[in-house]
A and B are shown apart, each in its own frame.
Chain A
Amino acid sequence: MAVVPVARPPLTLAERTYLPQIAAGLRTTWRHLVRPKQTLEYPEQRPAVPPGYRGVPTLVRDPHGREKCVSCQLCEFVCPPKAIRITPGEIAPDAPTAHVEKAPKEFEIDMLRCIYCGMCQEVCPEEAIWLQNQFSMTGTSREEMVNRKDRLYELGGTLPDEHLKWDRKAAAEQAGNDRH
C-alpha cells in the first residue's frame, strides 16, 4: 500500500485559543436544542409496526365469521417451546358449518413460553393462526399470561381470505361433485 503523507499544518492562533471551536460547538448544540425531539413517548405514541411483523400469535375468523382453526394440532406439534395446547372438539352436526367437522374446544397459547418464531403461522394449513401487530404482552400472574381461545379470537379479529376453502367445498358438494 502506498504511503500518503498527510499534510499537518501547524494550528493557527485562533485554533490554538480553542474559542472558535467552542463557538462552533455551541452553535451545533443550539441547533439540536431547538430541533424537534427524537423521542417517541411510548404509551401515548406507538411506533409504526412494519408489515410482516411477528407479534403476539392470534386466531382469526374468516370474513363470514367462521372460526378457521380445525384443531389439526399441527401448530401444537411444531411449536418449539411447546407454548400451544389444543383440546380438539367437534362441530355440532346441525351447525351450518358442520362439514368442517372439527374446531378447537380449547386453545391455549402460553405467552410466557412463546418465542414469537412464527412457525405455527407457517405450518397452519387453514391460515388460522397469525402473528399480528401486538408487540407488548403484560400480566400480573402466570394465568393471565396464558391466552385462551376467546382472548385469541378477540386479539385476532377477522382477516381477509382469498380462498374461502370450506365455502367452496360446501358449494361443490351441493352441486353433486363428490371429489371436491
Chain B
Amino acid sequence: MVDLYLSLPPLVQGLLKGLAVIMVIFPIGGACSMAERKVSAWIQGRPGPNRAVVPWVAWIPVLGPFLQRLGVFHVMADGGKMLFKEDALPGHVRKFYFVLAPLVAMMPALTTVTTVPVGAYLDAAGRTVPLVLANVDIGILAVFAVSSLGVYALILAGWASNSKYPFLGGIRASAQLIAYELSLTLSVVPVFLWINAPGTPGTLSLSRAVEFQSGAWQGFSAASWGGVWFLFLMPLSALVFLIALFAETNRHPFDMAEGESDLVGGFHTEYGAFKWGLFFVAEYAHMLIGSAVFTLLFLGGWNPLPWVPLATLVDWLTALTPLAAHPIAVGLLSIGIFLGKVLALIFFFMWVRWTVPRFRYDQVMELGWKKLLPLSIVNLLFYLGAIAALTP
C-alpha cells in the first residue's frame, strides 16, 4: 500500500494529499457547523435540530434515533441544499473578483492544514515521527504566512460586492487582522526562543514544539521542564495567543467582519449558495487550524497529560496488549488525543461565542493596539530575560 503510493508520480501524490485534505476539512467543517448549532441550542435551553432522518438509518435500533437527535442529517440536508440552490450573481458586483473571493478564502485554509502535524508514531528506533503532510522546517511561519492570506478573501469579497455593508465588513476585517496579527506572532516568539536553546539546530517546526513538551518527570530539576506544557510555562503567551486567535478567526466576541446586527452579514452579505458555503467552511477551517496550532504550541500536542508523553502511554498500553505498540495503533492513538484536544478547543470557541457579547469596533481596536500588543511585547521581554538568566 505504502510502496504503491510512493511509486506514484509526485503530482499524483500531491493530488491525493490535496484530496485527503479536502475530504477531511469539509466534513469537519460541516460537523463544526452542526456542533455550533447544537451548542448554541443547549446553552439557550433548546434541544437543537433533531428532526431530519433518513428512513433506513431510522430503522437501526439505538444508533438511528441517536444520530437523529444529534442532528447529523441536518448537516447533510444543509450541505445538499447549498449545492443545489440557485447561485445568484448580483448585477452590481465586480464579477471576476466576486467569484475569486470564496476561492481565495478556501485556499489558505486548505494549504495551512498540510503543515500542521496531526499525530505521531514511534519508528523502529523508538523515536516519535510526526504525521504531517508537509513537514517543513519553517512550520509556524508557514502557518502564519499562509493563513494571513485569508484576509485577502474578506477584503476582496467586501470590495467586489460593491455595496456598503460588505465594504465596511471588509475594512473592519483588514484592520482587525493587522491589529491582532502582531500580538499573535509576538506571543509565540517566547515559545520558540525556549525551544531553540543555544547550541541546538534552530527550528520553527511545530512538531519540534510538541517534541519539546514530551518530557517525562525527572524529579525537581531543570530536566523536568520538558514535560510541562507551554500553557503552564507561559500562561500569558497562551492567553494573548488565544485572544488574538479569536480575533484572527473572526469569532465572537471579535466578529466585526460579520456583525449581523450592524452589517447584515458583513463581507458575505451579497453571497449565497455554495459561494457562501465556501466562506463558511473556510471560517471553520481557520478555527480548526488555529485550535490545532494552539494545541501543538501550548497544550502538548498529542501528549495525553503533562509529564505523560505519548511514548509513556504507549509503554503502559503495551503492558496490557502488545498490539498497542504497532505504528498504526500509536498513530491512531496520537491522532485521537490530538483531535480530542482540538475539538475541545473548538467547543471552547463556541462556548465563548454564546457567552460574551460582541465588542464595539473601537473596543476591538483599543484592545488590539493598546492592550494586547504592549502586553505581548512585555511578555517577550520577560521571557527573553528569563531564558537568558536560565541558560548556563
Q: Which residues of A contact B (CB under 8 A)?
A: 22, 25-26, 28-30, 32-33, 35, 37-39, 41
Contact = CB atoms under 8 A, between A and B. Distances in A.
B35 to A, nearest CB: 12
A39 B43 contact: no
- Nearest 10 interchain pairs by C-beta: A38-B45, A25-B355, A29-B355, A33-B42, A29-B43, A37-B47, A39-B46, A33-B43, A32-B43, A26-B355
Contacts, number: 33
A26 B352 contact: yes
A41 B352 contact: no
A26 B356 CA distance: 8
Nearest to B50: A41
Contacts of A37: 42, 45-47
A23 B352 CA distance: 9
Interface residues of B, number: 12
A41 B68 CA distance: 14
Contacts of A30: 351
Interface in B321-355: 351-352, 354-355
A32 B44 contact: yes
Contacts of A41: 47
Interface in B347-368: 351-352, 354-356
A25 B355 CA distance: 6
Interface of B: 39, 42-47, 351-352, 354-356
How would you classify the secondary structure of chain A's contact residues: helix, strand, loop or mixed?
helix
Contacts of A38: 45-46
A120 B66 CA distance: 48
Contacts of A26: 351-352, 355
A17 to B, nearest CB: 9
A22 B47 contact: no
A102 B273 CA distance: 65
Nearest to A41: B47
Contacts of A25: 355-356
B45 A29 contact: no
Contacts of B47: 37, 39, 41
Contacts of A28: 355
Contacts of B44: 32
